[in-house]
Amino acid sequence: MFRFPIRIRAISQRFYSNLRPNPNKGLVLGVTYDSQNQPKLTKFGAKFDQMTGGKILSQIQVTDKIEIGKSRICWSIPGPFPAVAVATLAFNNDDSDESIECLNTRKESIRVAAAVGAKALVKEDITDIFFEDFSCPQSAAEGATLGVYKYQRQKSITKRKAIPNLLFIGENNRDTSMWSKGLTRTNSKLDRLERLGVNVIAHGPLWAKHHGMNAFLSVARGSVEPPVFLEITYNGAGGAQPISLVGKGITFDSGGVSIKPNKDMDVMRGDMTGAAVVSGVISALAELQVPVDIKGLIPLTENMPSGSATKPGDVIYAMNGKSICVDNTDCEGRLILCDALCYATLFNPRYILDVATLTGAIKTALGNCCSGVFVNNYRIWPILEKASFEAGDRLWRLPLFKHYTKDVTKYDGHDVNNLGKLKFAGSCTAAAFLREFVPAHIPWVHIDNYGVMQDCEEAYLNKGMSGRPMRTVFEFVSLEAGLSG
């Protein structure tokens, strides 16, 4: 997703004594509480506090307990950091909590602590914010970066808030590397792709027509803006069998002739979140030089009503020759994706993973807590589950039963219907529709991220367009490449 630029620095502890006091500098430390509610600083925090004569711990001890998800600033601390934000870590050994929550609660606690500490210092106009390692620098970097992020591109320059520098005090090179990795995973940009050695080709409508992408072109017919099909190639493994990542790129979704209600239609500029996730993942993989080959495919178009727009009842032919009856033009995401999935198969991929803000039904089912995921291969789910667990941006598996396939295929006059007969299970029928365009022998993952397209205000997730679940997809690809976060 599109994030603001951040200076990445690592400062070894051996240089600590050379840091001079600066009112614009602040430090974020972690604290835990024992059964008697007595505070205990982290290993790094305790060492640092010794250098201050115990000022930090003494300030914490005379105040109320810092609740989980909160922080407190200690002022007038001797040394280079006059302000030190202390945030509570929710470390415990309750495995049942992790199994219920389906995430690494220790890493999640670090993300939250780093975020709330950083936010507290930002409110005090501190521009250089340093972080301890929290025993997991990568998670700390993720929480800090996401926590202080604000979208300001369209604000007047004079009204933009200062961008804080997020800096790390590391004890070794590995910690520094993991901090940088965490920043990269949350700070990826599409405009960095080509300078990272990633090949980006923008195909136009004539190319799409030549390849028989009539479903994709049918959605674009209503807009005066020509469609673009992005093909992004990253060769990090030197010609190995690629992984195909497909992202839905509806740059504005009015619903077409089956027009949406006016309420909240403005947020449908975010209907390209799948495209943003795919481009962000490839950018991060390239910057971190992950040894994997990726073929990114992003169909981009608007879905607009006009005299030339596709009408309900129109029958079109997808790239694989299947006929599709368009019962509802607001079910357009699956139309552009089906041609992209067909094209992805031409590269003989190890697997295909698509990300799409596809159905409102997924938000009804799961809210904005997690994305729904469908898989056609049981071997791939454990890897996805682990990626979701470690990244903290959760996935929840939903069924891809033949029951749903029958709903979109049992018609006399055409092969597939883009809406189906069922009034319920919209996310499942949409996934069943897409399954018709992926050969059974190719492992396929479909992530419906409509529910997480926008975040509410939480500890390290700010209100607005989210770019989720980029971290989980990145982690999944890394695990497939033999790496782990």
Considering the domain boundaries, does residue 1 fall inside one? no
Q: pLDDT at residue 10 above 50?
A: no
d(CA 36, CA 65): 11
Return the pLDDT at 22.
Answer: 61
Kindly report, residue by residue over 251-263, the tens digit of the pLDDT: 999 999 999 999 9
Return the pLDDT at 161.
Answer: 87
Neighbours of 5 (CB within 10 A): 8
Considering the domain boundaries, does residue 175 fall inside one? yes
Angle at 239 (CA atoms; ends 238, 243), nearest 5 degrees: 110
* 60 and 37 together in one domain: yes
d(CA 35, CA 452): 36
Q: pLDDT at residue 139 above 60?
A: yes
Tokens 């994997």: give the residue.
Answer: 292
The packing angle between helices 470-480 and 173-185, to 10°, is 130
Return the pLDDT at 181.
Answer: 62
d(CA 210, CA 326): 22
* In contact, 29 and 132? CB cutoff 8 Å: yes
Q: pLDDT at residue 364 above 80?
A: yes
pLDDT band, residue 484 (cuts 50/70/90): low
Element (H, E) at 33: strand 25-33
Return the pLDDT at 190.
Answer: 54
CATH code, 440: 3.40.630.10
Residue type at 214 in one-letter notation: N
* 336 and 440 together in one domain: yes
Q: pLDDT at residue 9 above 50?
A: no
Q: How many folded domains does the chain comprise? A: 2
* 71 and 87 together in one domain: yes
Active site residues: 260, 334
Considering the domain boundaries, does residue 485 fall inside one? no
Look at 178 and 449; give whichever has higher pLDDT.
449
* 92 and 111 together in one domain: yes
Closest listed residue to residue 366, CA positions, set 256, 451, 453: 451
Return the pLDDT at 15.
Answer: 34
| Alpha-carbon distance values, 103 to 259, 392, 397, 429 (Å) | 38, 6, 14, 28
> What DSSP state is assigned to residue 406?
H
Return the pLDDT at 2.
Answer: 32
* In contact, 394 and 99? CB cutoff 8 Å: no
Return the pLDDT at 16.
Answer: 38
Q: Are strands 25-33 and 128-131 parallel, antiparallel or unpaired?
A: parallel
The β-bridge partners of 243 are 294
d(CA 371, CA 391): 13
* In contact, 92 and 101? CB cutoff 8 Å: no
Closest listed residue to residue 182, CA positions, set 151, 138, 150: 138
Boundary of a domain, candidates 160, 185, 210: 185
Boundary of a domain, candidates 185, 218, 233: 185
Boundary of a domain, candidates 185, 220, 241: 185
Kindly report, residue by residue over 186-240, the tens digit of the pLDDT: 665 556 787 888 999 999 999 999 999 999 999 999 999 999 999 999 999 988 8
Kindly report, residue by residue over 370-428, the tens digit of the pLDDT: 999 999 999 999 999 999 999 999 999 999 999 999 999 999 999 999 999 888 999 99
Return the pLDDT at 91.
Answer: 80
CATH code, 23: 3.40.220.10
Average pLDDT over residues 51-67: 94
Return the pLDDT at 20.
Answer: 46
Of all residues in the chain, the percent with pLDDT exceeding 90 is 76
366: three-class secondary structure by DSSP: helix
Considering the domain boundaries, does residue 3 fall inside one? no
Q: pLDDT at residue 128 above 90?
A: yes
Considering the domain boundaries, does residue 305 fall inside one? yes
d(CA 337, CA 355): 9
* In contact, 448 and 430? CB cutoff 8 Å: yes
Average pLDDT over residues 331-338: 99
* 223 and 309 together in one domain: yes
Q: Which domain holds residue 220?
A: 190-480
* DSSP H helical ranges for 267-401: 273-287, 333-344, 360-366, 381-391
Average pLDDT over residues 159-171: 85
Return the pLDDT at 1.
Answer: 37
Q: pLDDT at residue 8 above 50?
A: no
* 141 and 20 together in one domain: yes
Length of the chain as a residue count? 485
Q: What is the mean pLDDT of the chain?
A: 90
* 161 and 267 together in one domain: no
Return the pLDDT at 254.
Answer: 98
Return the pLDDT at 14.
Answer: 36
* In contact, 81 and 26? CB cutoff 8 Å: yes
Residue type at 403 in one-letter notation: H
